[in-house]
């Protein structure tokens, strides 16, 4: 299904509500005379019909993401290049609040400080909002840190930002946007260093304090991404870009330690832009972008696999994009409580489009 044609897109994101509502967000930085706008779409009938209500006001920025709280409130966050902005909706996305500046990095780190283009946002069972991104302390700083902010009042105000991972000594920069997941009082953050190492942080006190970073394993370098999923028993799965494919590791003790890294079968280097969803029963859903060797310059496809036995075995990968003459990339995935799988991805050749697909 074609969502929207546009002249330029940054990566999209997708989330689902408790009753299976589907929410997706994206940004067109060339919209409105190059001032940019964050867009929002929703479906409440299993993607048969879509509504396109106005997105947040004054939402110029990049690479938005979206999360749904336990009471159905929707939160969108995006980068303004200088800071991270967040807007919420209490009426199912019909309207959004005026954006709040989450990070305010110049207040804490001085003139010249800025954040990365992407951000991670999660909402815990108590309605607390957790936001992570990267920090450059100055315009000439080639090494960035991981910063974290939290809100306990529905997104009206935020703490911090706190530096939860400081890149000292300056030998290996953060290579990807951190992702964050919140379950009860546990908050988990993961990312990949520029060298390829996948790192993990955890908090057991709602994000007040964090552990020392734990190295999950090595990867292919070049700043891949590391994603986290948690099942109904609290088992954590981390997924990142490896040197010869997509790699995962699991934790059964709330992130105190992880299993040895294992490769998702039938993945390879340079399979990239992977994403992960985990349902309450522990099924792992993995999606990634693949550039076939016969068309390395223009053609990318989106592939999917799943595991129902905790990663012991995976299904045969399926090409979900089916766009053999177009370039599909940056897939994202969300799974609802009934096992419905929701994909979004971008197509950038020969024209730019945002695509949605649903599977069971």
**pLDDT tens digits for range 154-187:** 999 999 899 999 987 777 888 888 999 999 999 9
288: left (phi over 0), alpha (psi -120 to 50) or beta: beta
d(CA 284, CA 79): 29
Cis amide linkage into residue 287, ω under 30° from 0: no
Predicted confidence at residue 294, as pLDDT, reads 62
The first and second tokens of residue 22, run together, are 């589907």
Encoding tokens for residue 74?
């929707």
In whole angstroms, give the CA distance from residue 114 to residue 237.
30
The two structure tokens encoding residue 226? 């590391």
Backbone region of residue 138 per phi and psi (left: phi > 0; alpha: psi in -120 to 50; beta: other values): beta
For the chain, which residues make up each domain, given as ranges? 175-359
Residues composing the chain: 360
User: What is the Cα–Cα distance from 147 to 260, expressed in whole angstroms?
Assistant: 27
Q: Specify the pLDDT at position 38.
A: 82
Residue for token digits 């790192």?
199
Distance CA(334)–CA(20), nearest Å, equals 10
Give the number of C-alpha atoms closer than 13 A to the C-alpha of residue 287, restricted to the C-beta side.
Answer: 25
- The top-level CATH class assigned to 175-359 is mainly beta
* pLDDT given at position 39: 85
Query: Can you point out the beta strands (E) in 218-348?
Result: 226-230, 236-241, 246-251, 262-263, 272-278, 284-290, 301-307, 318-319, 328-335, 341-347
In the predicted model, residues of the chain with pLDDT beneath 70 are 1-10, 29-36, 139-142, 221-223, 293-298, 323-325
Q: Label residues 230-265 b or e (16+ Cβ within 10 Å = b).
A: bbeeebbbbbbbbeebbbbbbbeebbeebbebeebe
- The SS3 of residue 92 is coil
Euclidean distance between CA atoms 205 and 259, whole angstroms:
24
- The DSSP secondary-structure symbol of 244 reads S
pLDDT of amino acid 31: 56
Q: Which residues pair with 2 in a beta bridge?
A: 355
Among residues 312, 214, 314, the alpha carbon closest in space to that of 274 is found at 314
* Residue 325: Cβ-neighbour burial (10 angstroms; 0-12, 13-18, 19+): exposed
Report pLDDT for 5: 47
pTM assigned to the model: 0.94
Q: Are strands 162-165 and 179-183 parallel, antiparallel or unpaired?
A: unpaired
99 to 80, 128, 220: CA distances (angstroms): 11, 17, 37
């Amino acid at each position: 299904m074609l969502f929207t044609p546009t002249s330029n897109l940054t990566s999209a994101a997708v989330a689902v509500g408790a009753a299976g509502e589907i929410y997706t967000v994206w940004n067109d930085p060339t919209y409105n005379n190059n001032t940019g706008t964050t867009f929002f779409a929703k479906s409440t009938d299993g993607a048969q019909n879509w509504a396109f209500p106005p997105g947040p006001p004054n939402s110029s920025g990049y690479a938005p993401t979206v999360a749904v709280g336990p009471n159905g409130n929707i939160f969108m966050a995006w980068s303004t290049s200088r800071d991270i902005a967040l807007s919420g909706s209490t009426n199912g996305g019909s309207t959004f609040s005026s954006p709040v500046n989450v990070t305010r990095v110049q207040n804490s780190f001085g003139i010249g400080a800025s954040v990365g283009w992407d951000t991670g946002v999660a909402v815990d069972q108590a309605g607390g909002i957790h936001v992570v991104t990267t920090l450059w302390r100055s315009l000439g700083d080639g090494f960035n840190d991981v910063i974290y902010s939290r809100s306990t009042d529905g997104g009206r105000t935020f703490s911090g930002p706190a530096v939860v991972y400081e890149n000292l000594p300056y030998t290996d920069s953060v290579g990807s946007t951190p992702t964050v997941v919140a379950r009860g009082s546990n908050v988990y953050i993961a990312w990949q260093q520029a060298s390829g190492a996948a790192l993990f942080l955890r908090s057991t006190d709602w994000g007040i304090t964090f552990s020392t970073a734990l190295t999950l394993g090595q990867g292919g370098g070049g700043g891949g991404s590391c994603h986290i999923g948690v099942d109904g028993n609290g088992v954590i799965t981390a997924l990142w870009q490896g040197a010869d494919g997509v790699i995962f590791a699991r934790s059964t003790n709330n992130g105190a330690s992880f299993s040895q890294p294992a490769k998702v079968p039938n993945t390879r280097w340079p399979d990239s832009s992977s994403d992960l969803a985990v349902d309450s029963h522990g099924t792992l859903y993995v999606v990634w972008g693949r550039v076939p060797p016969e068309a390395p310059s223009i053609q990318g496809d989106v592939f999917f696999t799943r595991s129902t036995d905790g990663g012991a075995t995976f299904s045969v990968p399926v090409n979900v994009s089916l766009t053999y003459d177009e370039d599909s990339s940056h897939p994202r995935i969300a799974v609802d409580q009934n096992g419905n799988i929701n994909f979004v991805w971008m197509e950038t050749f020969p024209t730019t489009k945002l695509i949605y697909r649903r599977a069971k």
